[in-house]
Amino acid sequence: MNVRPCRTPSLLVGIALACAFAPAPAAAADAPSGAAWDGALHLDDALHLAHADNWDLLAARSQVTLAEAGERIAREHPDPSLLLTTSHVHAEGGDATGLGNDLWSRAYDSVAQLGQELEIGGRRRDREQSARSVATAARARLADQRRLLDAAVVRAYVGAALADANARIAGESAGYLRDEARIATVRLEAGDISRSDRDQIEIAAAERELEAGNARADATAQTVALETMLGLTAGRGGVTLADSLETLAERAAPGASPGPGGARPDLAAARADLARAESDLRLQRALRIPDPTIVVQAEHQPPDRANTLGAGLSFPLPFWNRNAGEIDAARAARDQAARDVHRIAAQVAADTASARVRYEEAWQRWRRYRDDLRPRSEEIRRTVTLAYERGGASLLDLLEAQRSDNDVRLETMRAASDAAIAAADLEAATTAFEPESVTP
């Protein structure tokens, strides 16, 4: 078919080069930076800082960004291919025709060929579904990382608060005994008690002071660990905790498991992995039939029938490769993903049941110490102390009352700590994945 002379090959070359070397848009990467904190640190403040600067959470956000980029890639169509060739060029020259001796008139065979691959068999749908499942799994893992991070921050904060409380209680007990030692000195001078009685009180006070020093060192170490987890730049244990153990223990715990429409983030991620594996298996099965490529071309070869058009269809012949290996691998991955869903579902049920039992026990123990044992122990200590100062109780009674009260106060704080941690564990075990609320 004869057509008018054109400069199609040169035009296509220019378009191809412009597309190939066009600069891609650049995205600025957010780099984590350390934070400083002035004033008292509440637990909610600690959770906010962890969400902003925790390394694992930043990595999970990056995975979400990568997965969303994969979604965009999966939606893209295959690019067309362009082939430009010139042949029949004699090295000695003499290619002029009756049309002239310029490049366009010589008897060169110039071909511009454009090919477009066509996706068939639902491959594009399966590829998009696979990428969508990867993004869902990444968002679920981000939510799961937040869930685990919240529980870890609560544990670190409560551990630091417990160490502070232990140091305070040991210091208070030492102060009580120092007061008794001063009174014992007066009674010793009056001849009411022996020197050994006074010395035993001073020894007990010194032991409590040593315990207080050790507890303060542990409190500093716990605070440093908390600062490191939160990404604070100081990292010297100088942060003051604003929430007491009593306040932390009173924080409400969740009362119900995820509803039928929700799942814990790790289970949601496993289900998304299973959906991706199923899409990948369908895709590999569809790849047994190769994709065809439609080709159109324009050819210029003067002088006779100088400009012609052509069309063609190409595709690989699946004689030797039927994609069997990739199908087997995709099937094995699908089966493993299904097993992971069952395993994680069982783990979620076990975690929820055990967390609820631990929370109920810790809460009842904390209430018993707070409402019953702690007030009675303090009353006994005051009564025995007053009786000893008046000569109505022995030194052994005094030391035993002081020791028992110290132990009860420590156990009360430990019960409050256990209740706060158990509440956080129960919340972590029953957290439901809300895809629309999870953003990188």
Tens digits of residue pLDDT in 179-232 = 878 877 877 777 777 788 888 888 888 888 898 888 889 888 888 888 888 877
Give pLDDT, residue 436. Answer: 55
Give residue 61's pLDDT band: very low, low, confident or very high (50, 70, 90). Answer: very high
Are 57 and 152 in contact by the 8 Å Cβ rule? The answer is no
Cα distance between residue 440 and residue 71, in whole Å: 15
Percent of the chain scored above 90 by pLDDT?
41
- How far CA 61 is from CA of 47, 67, 304, in Å, comes to 17, 10, 64
Q: What is the CA radius of gyration of the chain?
A: 39
Task: Confirm whether pTM is higher than 0.75.
Answer: no
What span, in angstroms and rounded, lies between the C-alpha atoms of 440 and 421?
27
Cα distance between residue 101 and residue 87, in whole Å:
16
Euclidean distance between CA atoms 166 and 162, whole angstroms: 6
Distance in Å from the first CA to the final CA of the chain: 58
Is residue 5 over pLDDT 80?
no
* Helices 55-75, 43-53: crossing angle, 10 deg rounding: 50
Residues whose CB is less than 8 angstroms from the CB of residue 109 and which lie 6 or more positions away in sequence, other chains included: 85, 86, 87, 88, 299, 300, 301
Band of residue 435 on the pLDDT scale cut at 50, 70, 90: low
pLDDT at residue 77 greater than cutoff 90: no
Average pLDDT over residues 224-253: 78
For residue 17, pLDDT beyond 70: no
Query: Cis ω on the peptide bond leading into residue 303 (within 30° of 0)?
Result: yes
Say how many C-beta atoms besides its own lie within 10 A of residue 197's C-beta: 18
Averaged confidence pLDDT in the chain: 83
Give the three-state DSSP class for 343: helix
- Provide long-range contacts, Cβ within 8 A and 24+ apart, for 93-102: 97/302, 97/303, 98/303, 99/302, 99/303, 99/306
Answer yes or no: is pLDDT of 9 > 90. Answer: no
| Under 8 Å between Cβ of 272 and 144 | no
Residue 3 reports pLDDT greater than 50: no
In 3-state terms, what secondary structure has residue 54?
A: coil
Task: Give the model's pLDDT for residue 198.
Answer: 81
| Average pLDDT for 8-24 | 37
Burial class (CB in 10 A: 0-12, 13-18, 19+), 326: middle
Helix, strand, or coil (residue 240): strand
CATH code for the domain defined by 38-77+122-288+325-437: 1.20.1600.10
At a CB cut-off of 8 Å and minimum separation 6, what does 213 contact? none
Per-residue model confidence (pLDDT) at position 211? 85
Q: Which amino acid is at 207?
A: E
Q: What pLDDT shows up at residue 11?
A: 32
Antiparallel, parallel or unpaired: β 240-241 and 40-41: parallel
Residue 235 pLDDT > 60, yes or no?
A: no
Tens-place pLDDT, residues 127-185: 999 999 999 999 999 999 999 999 999 999 999 999 888 888 888 888 888 887 887 78
Give 42: exposed, middle or buried? Use CB within 10 Å, 0-12, 13-18, 19+: middle
- In order, the DSSP letters of 257-322 are ---TT---HHHHHHHHHHHHHHHHHHHHHHTTSPPPEEEEEEEE--STT-EEEEEEEE----SS--
Measure Cα distances from 141 to 136, 148, 276 in Å: 9, 10, 15
Provide the β-strand partners of residue 295: 115, 312
